[in-house]
Structures are given as C-alpha cells and as structure tokens.
Structure 1
Amino acid sequence: MKIALAQINPTIGDLTGNSAKIKQYLNKALQAGVDLMICPELAVTGYPPKDLLYRKEFLREVNQVVERDILPCTGDIGLILGVPVEGDGEDDLYNSAIVMENGKIISLHDKTLLPNYDVFDEKRYFKPGLIRMPLHFRDLVLGVTICEDIWNDKDYWPRQKYAVDPVQELADRGIEIIINIAASPYHYGKQNLRMQIMQQLAKKYRLHIIYVNQVGGNDELIFDGCSMVVNKHGQVVRKAKSFAEDFLVFEIDDLREKESVSEKFFPAAGQTQLHEAGEENIASVHDALVLGIRDYIGKIGFNKALIGLSGGIDSAVTAALAVAALGKENVLGVAMPSRYSSAGSKSDAEKLAANLGIDFRIIPVESIFDVFLTVFNQGANPLMDLAEENIQARIRGSILMFLSNREDYFVLTTGNKSETAVGYCTLYGDMCGSLAVIGDVPKVMVYELARYINRQNEVIPETTIIKAPSAELRPDQLDQDSLPPYDILDEIIRLYVEEGKSSEEIAVLGYEPLLINNIIRKINAAEYKRQQAAPTLRVTSKAFGSGRRMPIVQRWHK
C-alpha cells in the first residue's frame, strides 16, 4: 500500500486557496497510485487561525469547502485532513482529523491534548477529544493523533503535562502505525527534539510513525515541515524537505525492509549537505528567516522590501536575508548618514548593496537634524543628550515610512534580540517598520548568520563583521559603552528569558550579580517598547511576542 505525505504551506483563512492546494496534491496522489494521503493539522484553515474560530460564518465556510470542494475529489484515495469540527453543543469545537474515502467521511479523530503554553492557546478555542479509537483502513490498523498528542511520553519528559497519553492508549488497542498530523512551529533545536521524541516512541511501542507537519510562515511563527517516517526501530527511513513544500510517497513495505539502515535522516531531494544528517546549525535559522520574510510579505500582498542600511552587521544580515527571500530586484537599501556616521559605515553600506545587487539610495539626514537642533536648542551647540540621539533614529524611521507609502515598499526593521531585550533601541525610530526579521536572533547568532551568508563569497563586507558595533548617534559611540560584551549579555538573556531562571540561579553559573540584576532591570523596563514593536519572526524557544505575555505596568522585579 502506498502512502503520501502532503507537506503543504497553507495561508490562514484562505479556505479556497488551501482547498485548491489540497486538491492539487490529491491529483498528484492519484497519478502516483497512492492509497492514503495525509495532510497537516488544520490544513484547511491554516494554523493558527486564532479568533477566526469564533466567527460562525468562518466555520460554516470551512464545512462548505470540505463538503463541496474536497470530499468529492477523494475518489478511491483515502485522505486524512486536519479541520476544525463543531460538536453538538453550541460552543463545542474540536481540532480534528477527518478521514475521507470515496466521497464520504469514514472516520473522525479529535485532538486530545490541547497545548496552552508559549505560543499555543488551544484551550481558548477547542475542547479535548475524549475518545481515542484506532482507524481500520484497508488492511492496516492506524492510530491517528494530532500534534501535541505525541508529546506526553512519561519516559521521555521529566514530568507529564497531561493526565492522558493518547499514544499509550492507542498502542494498547493494537495499532500498527502511529499517524501524527501537526502544525509544529520551528525554533532552534526543535527539529532534533522532534526526531528524538518520535524515535523514542517508535522503539518503546515497536510501532512505525508517520509524521506530517505544516510548512510556511504565518505571522511570527515559522513552520519547518521536516515531515518524516520512522520505523519501529527508531530509524528515520523517509524525510521531507525543511522549510519548503514537499510530497513524499512511500510503500508500507519499505518500513519492514529498512530495518538494517543506519539511524540518520535520508536526504530529501534538493537539500544541502548541511541538512542531510538532521543536524541543526545556523543554516536552519537562515532558512527559517528567509521563509518567514517571504511568507509574511507575500501572504499580506506585498512584494518589495525596504531596509535602512547603516553599514552595521544587523542591517547587512537583514538585507541579505531579504534578497534570499524576495530576489535582489525587490529589495531597496537606503543609507541615511548623519554627522556622526563614519566613513567606513558609509562605504560598507554602499559595498553591501553592490554585493547584493540591490537598488541603493543615499538620503542624508543632516539638514533635517539641523532643523531639530535649531528649534529645540535655540541656536546653542548640540547637548549630546538622549533626545538628540533618538531624534536621528526617528528622522530615519520617517524617511523609510515616507518611501514605503509613496513607493509601496514593506519596511523591515533590523534590531536584534539582544538590543530589543534591554531596550537598546529607539521607539518610533530604528524600531519603525512592519516586520522585525532578526528581532529574535541574539547578537552572537547574528555574527554566525553573517559568516554563513559569506560561506562561498564575501556578501557582507568583512569590515562590517570585524568592526565594533555602534549606533553612531554621538561621537565615538560604541555599544560596549552601554552594554556588556554580547557573548555575556546573550547568555544572561537566554537564561532569564528562555529558561526562566532567577537572578540567583544565574549567579550560581558564575555571572556577576550586579551585572545580572542590571540586565534584568533593563529587560523588565523595556517591556513597553517591545509591546509596540513590529511582529518578530520566532527562531528561539522563547521569543518576545505572543509566547511571552508580560505586564507592562508591574512592580515585581526578580
């Protein structure tokens, strides 16, 4: 029997477009002689649909699309499809997998475990499934699960989040294969974590696992795909592409024949050597950000991006990512030098634009800055205070937004996670824009991205990479004047924000208590800035955004 994994990139709420994509893959399955095709979690609506699920007319249209457009196209191919399904009660809604064949729904499986942590908010919308029964399809006995349902193994985690383990129940009922349809967003380390979980389950229960994940960017979340088939020995015998749509077909007999194969990922067609062994590295972060830019801008309806080029590493990396996502013909770089901009920064910005092959403009801010100094200093010399520093950033933000309005460009902000964490950024200035591309990338990782981008030839000027970082808003300014070295800063931010450690727990690791407390104070004080920032593409386990909901007005600092 042939099974196909349809790793698709849905757009949230585009019910017609998503159903057309599903039908396109059904046609591929028909041509390939497939018996069963499996789509990701909530494939019809895209994930996460959020409060669209509160709209009754939205749910009615979902039902219409399934019944009118998808169901009649199944023919003799079985289809497992993720869909929200209304229950008998007025507000009953389930995150479900519908099984179809020959134009009929033959089985329904509701998600049992509803995640309600980090970026997940499923208890807001769904009720948990209470019944877990095997699916008898042709000559197979399958256990259909949805995403979180496989993330509660008591032998893998130090503690279980839920009282129920759907995999355990289904295994006890005699299934042969676990099917998991998912919308599992990416963060650095997630690919290997998923693989380990599935290998553990496969070996523990002596069951094959078929895992189908969504791919694509939806708002701040990036879904990496990496659908896979794991045999009962924990060997990954098939793997779909990372960060791209894919259609993977295999024979059930393959699972039984590959018992002696080594435990490593099989390379998907077109993938680089860096991804073949399942090893995560900076290449994965790069590909995630490229996909995030492309889908965020494209799904909104833009096709051109605008970046302020300072000559520094952050704007250089952002510009290179934008070119990879959109093409050089759709990216504009704008340098906006002031009296404090160094000659090196100006030349680095120009060289970067030439290396990338993008359009480049120079719009000096000096004359506009002079007007502000004249008005507010009443002809006196510059005071070199914070107001004068920040107005330069705000002038630049206004220029970028002017170009955006007039020429239909989408402005990308260039601040990194280290700066955003401690508030080393200007509200309505360098924070100005529609998407924070590297806002979840720590500064040290920004340098890793730069080196990766330059892996074959110099795209980002070496002088940009080696010079000391500076905002260049006053004479001889350097980041290190206000911040500790970035390797230390990034690690304290990671421990506090991503791991949730207290200042005392961080101090035990050898960091100076006064420094720790200073950084934590800065993080807490900058919350009002972050909640006004552009949406940030998520690539770490705890980004500033929907997964970290801190009050702005609060007096508990620890």
Structure 2
Amino acid sequence: MITDRFRLAVAQLNPTVGDVAGNAELVRKARQEAAGKGADLVLTSELVLSGYLPEDLVLKPAFVRRCMEATQKLAAETADGGPGLVIGTPWKGDSGEVHNAVLLLDQGEIRSIRYKYDLPNYSVFDEKRVFAAGPLPGPVDFRGVRIGLPICEDIWNDEVCECLEETGAELLLVPNGSPYWENRAEERLQVVVSRVVQTGLPLVYCNQLGGQDELVFDGGSFALQSDRTLAFQLPQFETALGLSDWKRDGDTWVCENGKVAKLPDLDEANWRACVMGLGDYVNKNGFPGVVLGLSGGIDSAICAAMAVDALGADKVHAIMLPYRYTSQESIKDAAECADALGIRYDTVPIAEPVEGFASALGKLFEGTKEDTTEENLQSRARGVILMAVSNKFGRMVMTTGNKSEMSVGYATLYGDMNGGFNPIKDLYKTQVYHLAAWRNANKPEGLLGPTGEVIPSNIITKVPTAELRENQTDQDSLPPYDVLDDILRCLVEEEMSVSDIEKRGHDRTLIHRIEHLLYIAEYKRRQAPPGVKITERNFGKDRRYPITNRFRDRS
C-alpha cells in the first residue's frame, strides 16, 4: 500500500542513562501525546531507551537484555492502532554482537532493525569499545513510505546516505545523540545540508536532550526539505514534541506545516548548557540540592546564579568561610549576591581549624618559611567544612574553578577542588566575566532564578584574588586573563606550536611557562570533578594527556 500523506512526531526527550523503565515511559507518554494529535509515526533519538552515552553499561548482558525486553513491550503496544515508533536501543543481533540499533515498531511488531554503520571513536565518543558496526543499511517500509534510518554519525560521512538513496529511500529520519559545544547547531546544519544535496532527499534530524555527566545534549531537532530549505526547527534546551505533515509531491516528500523555533544566541546557549548540565547532574543523581562556598569572587557568584537558575533558590545553600585575609569588601559582595539570588547564606569562620592545623604541624615545619603550604591549609579547611555540611544534609558540594585556573593548576587539591560537579569547568575566566555581565542583563525563559542584577557589579569589576595572603591578586602569579586565555586556547583547543602562538604577539618565555604549567597540572585535573563541556575540547574525554610527561615544545 502506497500512501501520499503522513503526520510525523519528533520526540525530543531527556532520558537518563540506565533508567530503562523510566526512559520507556518517556517514550510511551510521547507516543500517547502524538497519537492524540493524529501522528502516524513517532521518531525518537539515538539509544533513547538506554540513554546516551551508556558507555560500558553496554558490556553488561543484563543491561542489554532489559533494553531489548523494553523494546519488545513497546512493540506489542503498537497493536493499538496508534502511531508507529522509531526507537533507539542497544540490540544483540543473531551473531551475538551488540549493536547501536534503531528499530521500527508498528502494528504490534518489530517491523525492521537497522544497525549503526559508522561508529565514532574520537572526542567524547568511544563506541567501537562497546558496539559492533553494522552493515550498510537499506531503507525500511512504513505504511508505504520507504524510509532511511541512518544513525547519528552515519550522516557525518556520505557512504550510508548514498547507499540509502541508491536502494530507494524516499525520506531520511535520523536519530541522534549529538552533544553541545559552542556553535554546534550550525555545524550540524551544514552536515545535513551536505547530505540533502548529495541524496536529493529531505532529512529529519532528531536529537537527544539533557545533561549526562560532563555532556549536555541540547536538542535543537530540525528538518530540511529536499531543496535544502528549513522544514521545521524545535527549540534547544527544552523537551518538545514536534508535529509536521508530509505529502508526496511526485517523487519527493514535502513538509507542509512545520513550526520554526528561534534558537538562542551563543551567550544564552552557553548559559543554558551550564544550567542544564548542573541541574540534570544534581536531579538525576538524587541530590536534594547543592552547597557551595560563596567567597565574594566572580567564580563562586556565577556558579551560585547558575545553581539557582537550574534548581531554584530553595535548593542552594551558600557559605562564606572567612579568614584573616578575607576583606570586608568580599564579605559584603558575597552577602549581596546571596540576597540578590534569594538563597540561604551562612558564615563559618575558618581561623580555628586553620590555626589548629598550623599548631599540629608546628614541630614538623619548624625552621621553614611560610609559603603556599600555609595558603593551601586555608583552602583545605574550607573544603573539609563544605564536605561536612554535604555529609550532614545530603546536598552536593559544587566546585567553582574556571578553565583558566584548571589549565595552569591554580587550584588546591582537596580544597577548592572538593565537590561533585563544576558548571564552569570548561569556561575560561574571560568567558566567566562575559557571561556574568550577560546574565545580569538577561534571564532566559524557563530558568528558575530572578531577573535583574543577580551578580553584584562590584564582583565583576574588582581585581580578582584568592585572598590567601595579604594584598594578593591573581595577576601576582598569572598573566592578565585575556593574554592567558588566548595562549591556553591555542595550546588546548588548537594544539598550536609555541612558534605559531608567538606569531600572535605573545612572549615566547611566557608561552613556555604556561605550557609547562598546563602539563604539570594534569595530575590535578585527573582528580577534579566533572563539569559541563562548552568548548570543542574540554578537560576529560576530549583531552587525554599522560600525567607523567617530559615533553615540552622548545622548537
């Protein structure tokens, strides 16, 4: 039977890795809603039943079996005469190998199974570790429509889509698990344009939503007509069920009525990514809220604002931990920030524990000069107190170090690095300042924080300092942040040589020093909590340098 029209629902959902029953229920509810709106077919994202990335969970036979059982149950439910379902799940094939699969469920049955052909093994992806690659796929038949089902990476090269077009596909429906980083939406669009030009077929791109450890999946599902015009656009950073009507026009399928959501600009997208990553990490892991040290500085202030936007003010607890070097200006700024955000704010002085440590170590340190050891005792005392509050009340400690500091080791192990998650781990200091000012002027819809100035302007404009000794500023130890951040971007994101960085106008001796600091801080970063990926190359899955490493670029 050949049909000339059908209604497609694109389900942009926020699954949780490992929660197979919960993810199946998300799909079930989306299908029910789509049925009520007259949909014929529901498209979901890559591995929606397992959640993405499932990593080594896929190596557990019990996990794969549970995903397959959930799929079979959903297939049986399609006997109700409602819409068919395109669903992503791990699947154990007849050969015994486990695949990243997409299945077409309809009329009470599993009608077709297709396996991912092109398994990514770069950046944050490591699919060849856990999945077997499938063969080049042909199209599937859905009620008279020949549909190609390439899976995510399958459209980033031309081989799979070329095969589908040559074997008679009329329309490409693509389940994706594509994580966010800056300007990622434009990058996806250009890939899809290339596939549409190559095949002459319309393409529907369904992307996952939500935070998963250090990754954020931003949704932003969309479709292109065969002439490369935008058929519809779903929002970023929101769950959505997008309905569109398709009709056959000769040999081509055309979308008649898709809605086009406005995508956020880069600042809003970065902010929303940090907020979503933090909120999902806290909520999916069952923490009742967060606690953080609010120092009066920019990093802790922006983290507090993100936490309120993600969780609500009632779930954020800020603690000022002053010592003799903490200025009255910092105490005032921290209190004003907490007041602007409407969060609980307590003060726990650290003089007693710091001096207790100093006393206990007095004989051992006799005859030595004070140095960063004593400074770090302050940071570690603060870390112990925050962890004690976390243990007592269950709220997760947030860490607040930015990418500039984490790059060069300007952080204290078991001190300010204590905690469970860091929303600004992949933001350079210059980005932190920029986004703080942006948030004071903007409050994106749907976030839980207040409007207006949530980070006191003095926090943004004053000279940054760790306040671990008299008259200390960050620039005592580091170059100006605009200089530092440019050098770090060259070293981390671009892997540029020292000679090429020098051509940008930077001092060669300074570049050598920053490169050295970057390498020797690797052991600290291995012990740092996860944080939201914002740049194309974050510390974590993206960048895997050895800790023991004597290489230095001195060419």
Residue of structure 2 in register with 1:444 after alignment: 430
SS of residue paired to 1:109: strand
Letter in 2 for 1:191: A
CA displacement at 1:88 relative to structure 2: 2.8
Residue of structure 1 in register with 2:87 after alignment: 81
Give the length in aligned residue pairs: 534
Residue of structure 1 in register with 2:9 after alignment: 4
Letter in 2 for 1:149: D
Residue of structure 1 in register with 2:373 after alignment: 387
Letter in 2 for 1:507: E
Q: 2 CA distance for matches of 1:266 and 1:62?
A: 33
Q: 1:539 to 1:355 in 2, by over 3 A?
A: same
Q: Is the 8 A contact 1:303 1:326 kept in 2?
A: no
Residue of structure 2 in register with 1:160 after alignment: none
Matched, 1:252 2:246: yes
Q: 1:70 to 1:104 in 2, by over 3 A?
A: closer
Matched, 1:474 2:469: yes
CA displacement at 1:253 relative to structure 2: 3.5
Give the counterpart of 1:369 among 354, 369, 388: 354
Give the counterpart of 2:136 among 131, 140, 150: 131
Q: For residues 235-294 of structure 1, what are the alpha-carbon distances to aligned partners after superposition, in whole Å with 9 as ceiling and x for unaligned?
A: 2221112112110010014997779x9xxx9643xxxxxxx2x46411001111111111
Letter in 2 for 1:81: I
Q: 1:305 to 1:64 in 2, by over 3 A?
A: same
Q: Is the 8 A contact 1:146 1:182 kept in 2?
A: yes
CA displacement at 1:139 relative to structure 2: 3.4
Letter in 2 for 1:556: F
CA displacement at 1:69 relative to structure 2: 4.3
For structure 2, which runs of at least 5 residues remain unmatched after alignment? 1-5, 443-451
Q: For residues 104-150 of structure 1, what are the alpha-carbon distances to aligned partners after superposition, in whole Å with 9 as ceiling and x for unaligned?
A: 11111111110001110000011111131012222322211100011
Residue of structure 1 in register with 2:392 after alignment: 406
Backbone CA RMSD of aligned residues: 2.0
Residue of structure 2 in register with 1:201 after alignment: 195
Give the counterpart of 1:118 among 118, 123, 132: 123
Farther-moved stretch of structure 1 (201-210 vs 525-534): 201-210
Matched, 1:531 2:526: yes
CA displacement at 1:33 relative to structure 2: 1.1
Residue of structure 2 in register with 1:55 after alignment: 60
Letter in 1 for 2:117: T
Residue of structure 1 in register with 2:447 after alignment: none
Please, what TM-score do these two structures have when normalized by structure 1?
A: 0.92
Residue of structure 2 in register with 1:162 after alignment: none
Farther-moved stretch of structure 1 (390-399 vs 503-512): 503-512
Matched, 1:347 2:346: no
Q: What is the correspondence of 1:464-503 to structure 2 with a 5 Å cutoff?
A: 464-503=459-498
Q: 1:382 to 1:321 in 2, by over 3 A?
A: farther
User: What percentage of residue pairs aligned between the two structures are identical?
Assistant: 39
Residue of structure 2 in register with 1:190 after alignment: 184
For structure 1, which runs of at least 5 residues remain unmatched after alignment? 154-164, 269-275
Q: 1 CA distance for matches of 2:355 and 2:486?
A: 40
Residue of structure 2 in register with 1:333 after alignment: 318
Residue of structure 1 in register with 2:449 after alignment: none
Q: Is the 8 A contact 1:26 1:73 kept in 2?
A: no
CA displacement at 1:374 relative to structure 2: 3.0
Q: Is the 8 A contact 2:236 2:264 kept in 1?
A: no
Q: Is the 8 A contact 1:374 1:380 kept in 2?
A: no
Q: Which runs of 4+ in 1 moved over 6 A?
A: 254-259, 379-382
Q: Is the 8 A contact 1:384 1:474 kept in 2?
A: no
Q: What is the correspondence of 1:194-343 to structure 2 with a 5 Å cutoff?
A: 194-253=188-247, 267-268=260-261, 276=262, 278=263, 280-343=265-328
Q: 2 CA distance for matches of 1:215 and 1:282?
A: 19
CA displacement at 1:514 relative to structure 2: 1.3
Q: 2 CA distance for matches of 1:296 and 1:451?
A: 25
CA displacement at 1:536 relative to structure 2: 1.6
Q: What is the correspondence of 1:91-110 to structure 2 with a 5 Å cutoff?
A: 92-110=97-115
CA displacement at 1:381 relative to structure 2: 11
Q: 1 CA distance for matches of 2:255 and 2:516?
A: 55
CA displacement at 1:383 relative to structure 2: 4.5
CA displacement at 1:367 relative to structure 2: 2.1
Give the counterpart of 1:22 among 2, 27, 30: 27
Letter in 1 for 2:302: V
Letter in 1 for 2:124: V
